[in-house]
Amino acid sequence: MKNGFVYAPTDAPPEVIHVDDDILIVNKPADLLSVPGKALEHRDCLETRLRDIYPDTLLVHRLDMATSGVMVFARNKAAQRHLGMQFEKRQTEKTYEARVWGRMDGDSGVVDLPLIVDWPNKPKQKVCHETGKPSQTGWQVLERDANTTRVRLSPRTGRTHQLRVHMLALGHPILGDRFYATGAAFTAAPRLCLHARSLAFRHPTGGAAVEFSSEVPF
């Protein structure tokens, strides 16, 4: 963690993309916790803010505090179980966009590196071929400029900090990442340049395929 970090999330109201009797789709802002932290000053989060508006809000999954983008919450226990099973069985489809440091070689590929928590530096994660859990991320270059590359990332597993560590392992840390970027890669952006661009799943009622997205803010 970079020295001097202070939790100071936006006070803007949650941006609701879609709501019905079963699901609530929102665009999480960067630097707001998905769920309450342990410390009193970290109790403010997207989940509690949504419950102030929709008291039946139930958690399904999380995004890292610094990551922005599409999240789904359930509005009843049956929908929560249905959605939770889809995430557990990897039946959802998630795409992210990121800006990373350096010009990536090639146009697409897959990172297949096992990950595990870096205990002395928790919550940081690390690649470990002996004890890490299987982790795969597909990547596709969208554009390049002089010092950075914009990529689409498609996680095939859902490990903590997976996209951030996999990009670091390729030698291209995500801009503004206070855990994994250093020097110019860290100072090149005022926030973590990682956004959950789209999320597709089966609707809890009827099973129809649905997909929701939000614009990339960087």
Catalytic residue of the set 22, 44, 52, 64: 64
Residue indicated by tokens 């030698």: 171
Please indicate, yes or no, if residue 87 is contained in any of the structural domains.
no
Is residue 22 annotated as a catalytic residue, yes or no?
no
Please indicate, yes or no, if residue 91 is contained in any of the structural domains.
no
Please indicate, yes or no, if residue 141 is contained in any of the structural domains.
yes
Please indicate, yes or no, if residue 48 is contained in any of the structural domains.
no
pTM: 0.95
Residue 140: which CATH number? 3.30.2350.10
> Which residues, listed in sequence order, are joined to residue 28 by a DSSP beta bridge?
69
Number of domains comprising the chain: 1
Please indicate, yes or no, if residue 104 is contained in any of the structural domains.
yes
The whole-angstrom distance between residue 101's C-alpha and the CA centroid of its chain comes to 18
Counted residue by residue, the chain has a size of 218
pLDDT at residue 41, rounded to an integer: 86
pLDDT at residue 1, rounded to an integer: 42
pLDDT at residue 4, rounded to an integer: 64
* Dist CA 154 CA 156 (whole Å): 6
CB 17 within 8 A of CB 26: yes
Residue indicated by tokens 């928590």: 117
pLDDT at residue 5, rounded to an integer: 81
Domain extent, residue 115, equals: 96-194
pLDDT in tens, the chain (218 residues): 445 689 999 999 999 999 999 999 999 999 999 999 988 889 999 999 999 999 999 999 999 999 999 999 999 999 999 999 999 999 999 999 999 999 999 999 999 999 999 999 999 999 999 999 999 999 999 999 999 999 999 999 999 999 999 999 999 999 999 999 999 999 999 999 999 999 999 999 999 999 999 999 99
The structure tokens listed for 192 are: 């973590």
Residue indicated by tokens 């990172």: 111
CB 176 within 8 A of CB 166: no
Please indicate, yes or no, if residue 175 is contained in any of the structural domains.
yes
Please indicate, yes or no, if residue 2 is contained in any of the structural domains.
no
Please indicate, yes or no, if residue 163 is contained in any of the structural domains.
yes
CA atoms within 13 A on the CB side of 67: 22
